[in-house]
């Protein structure tokens, strides 16, 4: 069998050297032929030699020009982003090093677009590329001739400048950029809202910082901007590194704690607003750290989310909670899920496996999500929730009243329950505007056929207020704090006994009749 030979691939150097070699060989062969031949006259021989030399020199000239152009083209491609034609990361390092040789301050801004992934998921990568080009144009306009801008890859950009007050000027440019990005960008017929989180750092003559360290610091500061709410500028601070080190320590401790069985669950009952009977319990994660300083869920859960440890930890919570709740009759079990779990494609699969293995009735399970979980990646969240609902599991929106939810948002995700945040409940008792907001939220939930739970109820006045406003369930320290599973066993048993006693006389009357 005859096999085709692979095509010959030449580099730009080969494309110059091979023709040059061929011409050299041909010119040398011609010169040798002339030198050893006795059939030509001297004048003819001399003319041929001169012609060969001229052809060789002309070839060298044109190949040299071509080679220089090729090298320049390669250098340009090596330092330029092909989509935006902005300088790239390699060029940024070179420029910072060049600026740092002088005595002036060098300032660097790391610019990361917010919600870019959602644009790609919703509109496709072609529109995403258009958005990148439009943002690059916008950054060019803001930087003007004073600062040089770069695309580092993906949705990351940078800007650098040097001068006596370069940091102040660059920060002003960044704030102008945030103002411009506050207005949706127009791409064809679409109006796309995209913000940015910006991290800033500087290097001075007294304390020069290498380019790689400047990029790291600006990246850390940019991450702090994202954590602080996005659409903001943050200067690098040495405390950020100490915080990151502490986060890494907590991450290691979480990993060890999972293996050592240090985590456990507590359950806070929810009562019926009318008769105060326990109708549901919410599973709350606790960490028994022994002699080490206590850490609340508000500290260790975000670390677990960022590190990916929330997936095994969250799966353990789900499995343990349904195993405990199996013995609590028809009581509903509420379990919180994080944004990271919701974005994990394997979470619905694992949920289905837990329900099947434990035999827990899906209609008794209620998963609580926050508005932030859904806003971060609404397309993925919608798909995941659709799969979860197909099992028969209910979805509740937690902490309502603190975020971005609108009527369209509520209709899109079709929650079975709305949980009013404790801050809204507290303010409703003392502020007319907050009371009106709470009443309108409950009316909206009713119109969309959702149940309503009031969280954080601590006084009889608050309980009466939310009861009259139309809440179905109440959760708070007024009735119960978070309790171990064994204490919930006792409460459920006592409630069952009271129900049986209350039903006793009626049963006797029915039998007598």
Edge-to-edge strands of the sheet including 233-235? 148-153, 156-163, 105-113, 196-203, 233-235
Kindly tell me the sign of the dihedral angle through the C-alpha atoms of 365, 366, 369, 374.
Answer: positive
Q: Higher confidence at residue 118 or residue 60?
A: 118
Report, as an integer, the average pLDDT of 483-505: 90
Q: How does 366-404 read in b/e, with b if 16+ C-beta sit within 10 Å?
A: bbbbbbebbbbbbebbeebbeebbeeebbbbbbbbbeee
pLDDT of residue 170: 96
Residues 266 and 283: their CA atoms lie apart, in Å, by 6
pLDDT digits 0-9 by tens, 64-98: 665 555 555 555 567 789 999 999 999 999 999 99
Closest CA to 447 of 411, 489, 404, 495: 411
pLDDT of residue 42: 44
Closest CA to 198 of 181, 172, 213, 219: 219
DSSP 420-475: E-HHHHHHHTT-HHHHHHHHHHHHHHHHTT-EEEE----SHHHHHHHHHHT-SEE-
Judge whether residue 447 has pLDDT over 70: yes
Alpha carbon 307 to chain centroid, angstroms: 12
SS3 for 145-162, per residue?
Answer: CCCEEEEEECCEEEEEEE
pLDDT digits 0-9 by tens, 215-234: 999 999 999 999 888 899 99
What is the separation, in whole angstroms, between the first and last Cα of the chain?
Answer: 99
231 by Cβ neighbours in 10 Å (0-12 / 13-18 / 19+) ranks as middle
pLDDT of residue 7: 47
- Residue recorded with tokens 């171990």: 484
Report, as an integer, the average pLDDT of 155-164: 94
Of the listed ranges 12-16, 184-188, 304-308, 480-484, the least confidently predicted one is 12-16
Closest CA to 319 of 290, 287, 297, 347: 347
Supply 19's token pair.
Answer: 């023709």
pLDDT of residue 18: 59
pLDDT of residue 378: 78
pLDDT of residue 49: 59
Q: Higher confidence at residue 436 or residue 49?
A: 436
pLDDT digits 0-9 by tens, 348-402: 999 999 999 999 999 999 999 988 777 767 778 888 999 999 999 999 999 887 7
Judge whether residue 37 has pLDDT over 90: no
Report, as an integer, the average pLDDT of 417-433: 90
Phi-psi region of 308 (alpha: psi -120 to 50; beta: other; left: phi over 0): left
Residues 409 and 192: their CA atoms lie apart, in Å, by 17
pLDDT of residue 494: 94
Distances (CA, A) of 195 to 137, 178, 183, 230: 15, 7, 9, 8
Percentage of the chain beyond pLDDT 90 is: 59
Residues 249 and 66: their CA atoms lie apart, in Å, by 57
Q: How confident is the model at residue 412 (pLDDT cuts 50, 70, 90)?
A: confident
Question: Which is it for strands 233-235 and 148-153: parallel, antiparallel or unpaired?
Answer: unpaired
């Amino acid at each position: 069998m005859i096999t085709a030979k692979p095509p010959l691939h030449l580099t730009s150097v080969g494309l110059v050297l091979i023709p040059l070699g061929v011409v050299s060989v041909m010119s040398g062969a011609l010169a040798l032929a002339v030198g050893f031949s006795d059939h030509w006259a001297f004048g003819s021989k001399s003319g041929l030699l001169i012609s060969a030399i001229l052809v060789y020199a002309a070839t060298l000239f044109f190949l040299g020009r071509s080679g220089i152009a090729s090298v320049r083209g390669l250098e340009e491609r090596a330092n330029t982003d092909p989509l935006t034609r902005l300088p790239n990361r390699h060029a940024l390092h070179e420029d910072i090093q060049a600026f740092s040789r002088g005595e002036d301050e060098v300032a660097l801004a790391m610019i990361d677009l917010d919600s870019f992934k959602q644009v790609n998921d919703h509109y496709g990568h072609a529109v995403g590329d258009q958005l990148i080009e439009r943002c690059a144009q916008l950054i060019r306009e803001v930087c003007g001739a004073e600062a040089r801008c770069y695309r580092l890859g993906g949705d990351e950009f940078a800007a650098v400048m040097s001068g006596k007050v370069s940091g102040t000027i660059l920060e002003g440019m960044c704030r102008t950029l945030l103002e411009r990005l506050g207005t949706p960008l127009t791409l064809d017929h679409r109006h796309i809202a995209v913000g940015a989180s910006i991290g800033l750092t500087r290097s001075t003559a007294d304390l020069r910082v290498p380019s790689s360290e400047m990029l790291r610091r600006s990246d850390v500061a940019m991450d702090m901007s994202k954590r602080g709410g996005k659409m903001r500028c943050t200067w690098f601070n040495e405390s950020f590194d100490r915080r990151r080190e502490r986060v890494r320590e907590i991450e290691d401790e979480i990993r060890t704690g999972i293996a050592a069985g240090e985590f456990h669950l507590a359950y806070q009952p929810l009562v019926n607003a009318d008769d105060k009977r326990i109708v549901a319990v919410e599973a709350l994660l606790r960490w028994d750290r022994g002699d080490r300083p206590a850490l609340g869920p508000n500290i260790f859960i975000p670390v677990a989310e960022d590190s990916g440890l929330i997936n095994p930890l969250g799966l353990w919570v789900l499995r343990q909670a349904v195993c405990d709740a199996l013995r609590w009759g028809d009581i509903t079990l509420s379990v919180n899920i994080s944004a990271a779990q919701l974005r994990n494609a394997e979470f619905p699969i694992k949920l289905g496996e837990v329900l099947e293995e434990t035999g827990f009735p899906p209609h008794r399970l209620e998963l609580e999500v926050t508005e932030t979980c859904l806003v971060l990646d609404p397309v993925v969240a919608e798909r995941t929730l659709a799969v979860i609902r197909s099992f028969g599991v209910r979805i509740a929106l937690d902490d309502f009243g603190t975020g971005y939810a609108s009527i369209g948002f509520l209709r899109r995700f079709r929650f079975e329950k709305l949980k009013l945040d404790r801050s809204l409940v507290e303010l409703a008792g003392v502020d007319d505007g907050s009371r009106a907001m709470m009443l309108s939220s409950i009316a909206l939930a009713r119109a969309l056929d959702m149940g309503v739970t009031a969280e954080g109820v601590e006084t009889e006045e608050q309980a009466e207020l939310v009861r009259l406003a139309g809440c179905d369930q109440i959760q708070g320290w007024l009735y119960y704090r978070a309790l171990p599973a064994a204490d919930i066993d006792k409460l459920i048993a006592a409630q069952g006994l009271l129900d049986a006693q209350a039903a006793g006389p009626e049963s006797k009357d029915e039998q007598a009749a």
